[in-house]
Amino acid sequence: MKNGLYIAGEWVEAEERFDAINPYTGQAWTTIPQASTEQVSAAIKAARHAFEHGWKQTTGLERARLLFRLADLLEESADEFSRLESTDNGKVIRETRVQMSLAARQYRFYAGYADKLWGQVIPLDQRDVFDYVSNEPLGVVALITPWNSPLLLLSNKLAPALAAGNTVVVKPSEHASATTLEFCRLLEKAGFPKGVINVVTGDYRVGQALVGSRDLDRISFTGSPEVGKSIAATAGRNLVPVTLELGGKSPNIIFEDANLQRATVGALAGIFAATGQTCIAGSRLLVQKTVYPQVVEALKQRAEAIRLGNPLELATEMGTVANEPQFLRIMGKIAAAMEEGARLVTGGSRASGPGLDQGFFVRPTIFADVDNAMDIAQEEVFGPVLSIIPFETEEDAVRIANGTRYGLASGVWTNDLARTMRMTRAIKAGTVWVNTYRVSAAQAPFGGTKESGFGRERGEAGLAEFLTTKNVMIDFSNDERDPFVVKS
């Protein structure tokens, strides 16, 4: 598989290419084009031309038909795309296959909105002035996606952007670009006009050229807080609005009255699913002291039984870390946690054995007796590393849960309804799960507070990110009036 850049509906070759590394084998499996600054500019110009000369005049019904067709094509190709994605980023195929279905659901969900972007009529104090509000597309938007779930996270942005009537330039992570480029073939089959969707790939230079453009109407970014801050600063100088979905250090809280079997499974899935490489990972597990020892022991046993292996095999429960720089970062965080005094319960090293030695495998790692002030509890690891923190009272749990710079997701395990209501109000996070964890839905808005970002994806709120409001006033009176006096 060898694709070029996708600009103005054409495949464009780049002067430079780089290897895409299969994290399971450690070997190159394809190459990815490195876009030049001029090619980034060409992609933006193509999107602008497509917007001004056709796409913004399309009806919602036309856009809906294209999005429904795209969803069908993605479902038909789900097995192929799940294999490509698992090869590219090491996520187990049992998850990437589900993600293709979830992405298709997103395109269908927003297709249903495309012909329902009606505004409202506003009654004014002036009886002879007719006022209405319309929702209109922004124009050209840049969509920047990470390497952990490329096609699913692209659907969070692309589906509402297209439904709203915008054109786009997509920049996937250089660590996982293959499926996004291949996805362009589905866009062609679906019948999207040339220039409506453009894809440029490459390293940070491509990202800098894209976000530095003055001809964008919004930037939507998913990634690290550090990069998000840099993008926001650059966009701010050009007065380009941004949506930022950044990192998390999410608290998953188990109270003594919870169903401990369900809570333990939820805690396990919350951190070790996707090899911990998800912004919503429940990486801080807060456990009430009365049940703390048994929860720690149960998690130790379950973590040690997780089956690591080839991501393309259905029996594999946890795959590799997506790339070598991330693998080295995780191992550094584990070493620092041990130096800091966290008690290693299990894991803490590179996994080895038959079928594992060539890949970027990290053993499922659990630290207990973690103090919330430790770096391992404060900084996002983005890997299969769980920090378990004991607490005594509900007030302690709230204080610890809110005691980081992040506010993305959280979980509460309890059978006490009154406690549920208190905790969901007290926790500072964009998402609070109760007696479940890591569940997503196209209808449910998603996003964070504090340094987890701002703006929302999914749901009706995600659509609003890609619309602008226009107010229209029509004076239908025949009265002559003083032009220097505001009519009242």
Active site residues: 245, 279
Instruction: Identify whether the C-beta of residue 342 lies closer than 8 Å to the C-beta of residue 369.
Output: yes
Radius of gyration of the chain (CA): 24
Q: What's CA 46's distance to the chain center, in Å?
A: 26
Helices 78-89 and 178-190: angle between axes, nearest 10 degrees: 160
The type of residue at 336 is A
* 432 to 285, 321, 357, 424: CA distances (angstroms): 14, 27, 38, 6
Q: What's CA 39's distance to the chain center, in Å?
A: 26
- Please give the Cα distance from 124 to 78 (Å, whole number): 52
DSSP state of 345: E
Q: Residue 178: in which H helix or E strand, if any?
A: helix 178-190
Q: DSSP E strands: which ranges in 126-222?
A: 129-137, 140-144, 167-171, 197-199, 218-222
Instruction: Identify whether the C-beta of residue 454 lies closer than 8 Å to the C-beta of residue 244.
Output: yes
Query: Burial letters for 179-201: b for 16+ Cβ neighbours within 10 Å, e otherwise?
Result: bbbbbbebbeebebeebbbbbbb
- Please give the Cα distance from 217 to 239 (Å, whole number): 9
Judged by phi (left if over 0) then psi (alpha if -120 to 50, else beta), residue 3 lies in beta
Residues 6+ apart with CB under 8 A from 27: 21, 358
